[in-house]
Amino acid sequence: MEKLSVMSKIALDTKLKQGKYVLVFMADWCPDCHFIKPHLPEIEADFSEYHFIHVDRDENIDLAQDLNIFGIPSFIAYQDGQEIGRLVNKERKTKAEVEQFLNNIATNGSADK
């Protein structure tokens, strides 16, 4: 999984302009992030049409605030520069919940949770 360098919302918009992406916001100190982390390679393999990008919430605190990320781990999906869904809350996420979120996007074209 690519790790996002520190960047502004404007730079991120440029980066995500073409293609399908999932931003995965996490932090080293976050126990819920450690819970989902072992499942991420399998989730990436199951949803290979997306390019997954790890965003360190602490390194990119301004970006996280601009994107209303107030709980981690959080997931935001983009297609061709447009947000198409988000799984953003303060709850622990399971592999099944993340996969359901991504399946809903594939089925409905967008998803919010």
| pLDDT tens by residue, 42-51 | 999 999 999 9
| pLDDT tens by residue, 66-104 | 999 989 999 999 999 999 999 998 888 999 999 999 999
Output the pTM of the full model: 0.91
The domain in which residue 67 lies consists of 2-112
User: In sequence order, what E strands does 1-113 have?
Assistant: 2-3, 20-26, 51-56, 74-79, 82-87, 111-112
CATH number at residue 12: 3.40.30.10
Q: Which is nearest to 100 in space by CA: 32, 49, 55, 46?
A: 46
| pLDDT tens by residue, 1-41 | 999 999 999 999 999 999 999 999 999 999 999 999 999 99
In three-state secondary structure terms, 89 is: coil
Go through 77-86 and write b for each residue having 16 or more CB atoms within 10 A of its CB, e for each that does not: bbbeeeebbb
> What is the number of structural domains in the chain?
1
Backbone angles phi, psi at 14, to 5 degrees: -65, -45
